[in-house]
Structures are given as C-alpha cells and as structure tokens.
Structure 1
Amino acid sequence: MCEWEDRVSNVAHEIEHYLESHPQAADSLEGIASWWIARQRIRTELEVVRAALEQLSHSGIVSARQDTGKRGPIYRLNNKNH
C-alpha cells in the first residue's frame, strides 16, 4: 500500500472505532475531522505521553509533584541531575 492509502485506511479505522463507541454520532466532514479524529488522536497521544513521562520519571530525568487541584501530577526536570 502507498502512503496515501495507508493514511486513508488508518482514518477509516479511526472513524469506525469512534462510531462503534458512539453509535448515535453524526457530523459533517469538518466536524468529523475536528472532533472525532482529533479527539481520538489526543486520547492516543495522552497514553503515549503518560508512558514517556513514567519512563523519564523512573530514570530520574523528571520529577513529579502532586498538584493540589484535580489535574494530576506536575512534571519538571529533576534538579538533582543538573
């Protein structure tokens, strides 16, 4: 498959996954691109970023401090390394 076909196939799978999770959903081309696809990609990237932060935290590169709000930990460069 060429790059274009791969991209189209990946987006088709994302749309299908969204519709399986939200069977009553309906939207325009722009709405699907802006909301369905973008939100799914953000959710996926959040998992990747979470794993990367855990890795950096375990290796001592970043430190995490609990936020007093509901946002979760706040990450920063571990000062012990620099």
Structure 2
Amino acid sequence: MYSRDSSLQEIAELVLAYLRRHPDAADTLDGIVGWWLPLQRYETERGRIENVLDALVEDRLLRRERLPDGGALYALPARGADGPNA
C-alpha cells in the first residue's frame, strides 16, 4: 500500500529503523510522531551531514579542528592556508 507513495515509504522505513534500534519499543501515534520519527530523522540526517562535511574538508572547502572531547569544529579555511585541513 505505501510502496506507491515515496513519502509514506520514507515514514515506514523510519518507523522500522527506529524499532530495529529499539526492539522493545511500543508507543501511541502521538508518541511515534513526537518521539520516534524526529529522533530517527535526526540520526539519519546526522550521518548524511557528517558525510557532506567530510567531503567538504577533503575538498578543502572547510577545515576541521579536533576538540579535546573528540568532537570536531568546522569552519571556512584560514585565508591563504594551504595543505590538508583535517
């Protein structure tokens, strides 16, 4: 039924992905809309965004500085800087 509509297919995939990560989860429609889908979209989009940032660093359009906690800070490259920015 939902395979004909790409937006419905996306929702189905997000719900199932959430349940794969949290196999004991159960919730109401309001809970699924309010918690599961936003969380799953965040996790999915976070991975995509990280891939884009990695590519921009590789192409030297952004620089990445490692933070003491292991995270990363992204910004435009320093003016006149050359060499890898990773």
TM-score w.r.t. length of structure 1: 0.78
Residues 81 and 5 of structure 1: is their aligned pair in 2 closer, same or farther, counting only changes over 3 Å? farther
- Equivalent residue for 1:22? 22
Q: Counterparts of 1:3-82 in structure 2 under 5 Å?
A: 5-68=5-68, 70=69, 72-80=71-79
Contact 1:61 1:81 in 2 (8 A): no
Q: Which segments of 5 or more consecutive residues in structure 1 lack a partner in the other structure?
A: none
- What is the distance in 1 between the residues matched to 2:74 and 2:46? 14
Contact 2:63 2:76 in 1 (8 A): yes
TM-score w.r.t. length of structure 2: 0.75
Q: Which segments of 5 or more consecutive residues in structure 2 lack a partner in the other structure?
A: 82-86
Contact 2:17 2:40 in 1 (8 A): no
Deviation at 1:12, TM superposition (A): 1.7
- What is the distance in 1 between the residues matched to 2:66 and 2:16? 37
Give me the identity figure in percent: 29
Number of aligned residue pairs: give it.
Answer: 79
Deviation at 1:23, TM superposition (A): 2.1
Deviation at 1:81, TM superposition (A): 5.9
